[in-house]
Amino acid sequence: MKALIISYNNFEDSELLYPLYRLIEEGFSVDIASLKRDKIKGKHGYVIEANLSVEEVRPEVYDLLILPGGKAPEALRKNEGVLKIVQTFYESGKIIGAICHGPQILISAGILKGKRATSYKSVAKEILEASAIYEDKAVVIDGNIITSRSPLDLPYFMKTILELWKATPK
Amino acid sequence: MKALIISYNNFEDSELLYPLYRLIEEGFSVDIASLKRDKIKGKHGYVIEANLSVEEVRPEVYDLLILPGGKAPEALRKNEGVLKIVQTFYESGKIIGAICHGPQILISAGILKGKRATSYKSVAKEILEASAIYEDKAVVIDGNIITSRSPLDLPYFMKTILELWKATPK
């Protein structure tokens, strides 16, 4: 049981910490990847060690991927390596959870076309422009893509991700 | 399923948010009590609505109590109403979880004598002075009292609390 979180400086702290701790609680080993191996700092000042650079990520070893929000996705969506990882998770049918501004990375990875999704409200327009269907709900599931709107949705976001993961044939 | 969190300004943000969201994820309805009904602000700037004052708390309606850390416990431990609530939970055998500086409230409530407990390391001396046994572990369980040391212990803290709660005859 191995999970990957991809984030960067100015992440929304609770959107990284809640999934991180929740996955550890469930028995996952969790890697945190960023543009380089380094400490990354959240908007609220929490500092997290990214133990992998994006180049070092081997998507095949993970069960699921989490993309927290904040300002981090704005930087991450410009990185080809990040988009390639997301596409690989998507194509292999593995669970991808993106919250708040996290869905911006899904848009840039080109995997939202025709899909139902949610996000932080300011990202809704971009979701529509990506030919996806925006739904204003705590959690939206479409295939292996799970999206949520904001920190207040975290309990429902992680509950859904873990339920789907448990229901996935291993 | 109803849980109570007691906290105040300068709480350690993740130590309030992780239990709050985790309990909601589990299906609990969660009340947050403080010295008065008001918004309280964490050390990292998260703002949480305390929907009850300490005077309004009716301990009998809750299944369990969580005491997050940060600087909040320093203020809360001086309040007789808070100590009374903690004593009532203790005497009725309900689960009390305290993390980081949270155990300071248990000390002031006089319920740690002869008990095994842990806390943030700077509180260890006080725990010993309260005639309790300090253990440097992620989670220490003694009867209905569950204690942990710091935010990094949150996954183990909540896992233990929820496991004990599930094992409690209802």
Contact B155/A at CB under 8 A: yes
Q: Which domains does chain B have, with CATH numbers?
A: 2-167 (3.40.50.880)
Q: pLDDT, tens digit, for every residue of A82-136? A: 999 999 999 999 999 999 999 999 999 999 999 999 999 999 999 999 999 999 9
Asked if residue A170 has pLDDT above 90, the reply is: no
Put simply, the answer to whether A45 touches B46 (Cβ < 8 Å) is no
Q: What are phi and psi of A131, to 5 degrees?
A: 60, 30
pLDDT(A14) > 90: yes
Give residue B169's pLDDT band: very low, low, confident or very high (50, 70, 90).
Answer: confident
Q: Is B101 tagged catalytic?
A: yes
Nearest-CA distance A110 → chain B (Å)? 31
Q: Is B138 on the interface with A (CB under 8 A)?
A: no
pLDDT at B10 > cutoff 90 = yes
Mean pLDDT over each residue of chain A, to the nearest integer: 98
Catalytic-role residue among A22, A94, A101, A149? A101
Q: What percent of chain B has pLDDT over 90?
A: 98
Q: Please determine, for residue B135, whether its predicted confidence score (pLDDT) is greater than 90.
A: yes
The reply to whether residue B21 touches residue A45, judged by beta carbons under 8 angstroms, is no
Residues 36-95 of B with CB under 8 A from A: 44-46
Distance from the Cα of B31 to chain A's closest Cα (Å) equals: 15
Percent of chain B with pLDDT over 70: 100
pLDDT digits (tens, 9 = 90+) for A55-72: 999 999 999 999 999 999
Contacts of A158 in chain B (CB under 8 A): 21, 25
Band (B136; pLDDT cuts 50, 70, 90): very high
Q: Which residue has the higher pLDDT, A170 or B161?
A: B161
Give the residue-averaged pLDDT of B118-127: 97
**Portion of chain A with pLDDT greater than 90, in percent:** 98
| DSSP letter for each residue of chain B | -EEEEE--TTB-HHHHHHHHHHHHHTT-EEEEEESSSEEEE-TTS-EEEE-EEGGG--GGG-SEEEE--BSHHHHHTT-HHHHHHHHHHHHTT-EEEEETTTHHHHHHTT--TT-EE---GGGHHHHHHTT-EE--SSEEEETTEEEE-SGGGHHHHHHHHHHHHHHS--
* Mean local confidence (pLDDT), B115-129: 97
B156, A25: Cβ pair inside 8 Å? yes
Instruction: Please indicate whether, in this complex, the C-beta atoms of B18 and A13 are within 8 angstroms of each other.
Output: no
Q: What is the model's pLDDT at position A66?
A: 99
A45 to chain B: which residues are within 8 Å by CB?
Answer: 44-45
ipTM (interface predicted TM)? 0.96
pLDDT given at position B170: 79
Structure pTM?
0.97
DSSP H or E stretch at residue A96: strand A95-99
Taking the Cβ of residue A158 and every Cβ of chain B, the question of whether any pair is shorter than 8 Å is answered with yes
Q: What is the pLDDT of residue A51?
A: 98
Task: Report yes or no: A37 and A55 within 8 Å, Cβ to Cβ.
Answer: no
State which residue of chain B sits closest to A155, comparing Cα positions. B25
Among partner residues A22, A44, A159, which is closest to B13 by beta-carbon distance?
A44
> Is pLDDT at A33 greater than 90 in this prediction?
yes
Q: Which two tokens stand for residue A25?
A: 């609680």
Per-residue pLDDT at A169: 83
End-to-end CA distance of chain A: 10
| Inter-residue contact B109 to B86 (CB < 8 Å) | yes
**CB proximity B14 to A under 8 Å:** yes
Question: Can you spell out the DSSP letters for A42-59?
Answer: -TTS-EEEE-EEGGG--G
CB A6 within 8 A of CB A56: no
Is the CB of residue A24 less than 8 Å away from at least one CB of chain B? yes
A112/A145 Cα distance (integer angstroms): 9
Percent of chain A beyond pLDDT 70? 100
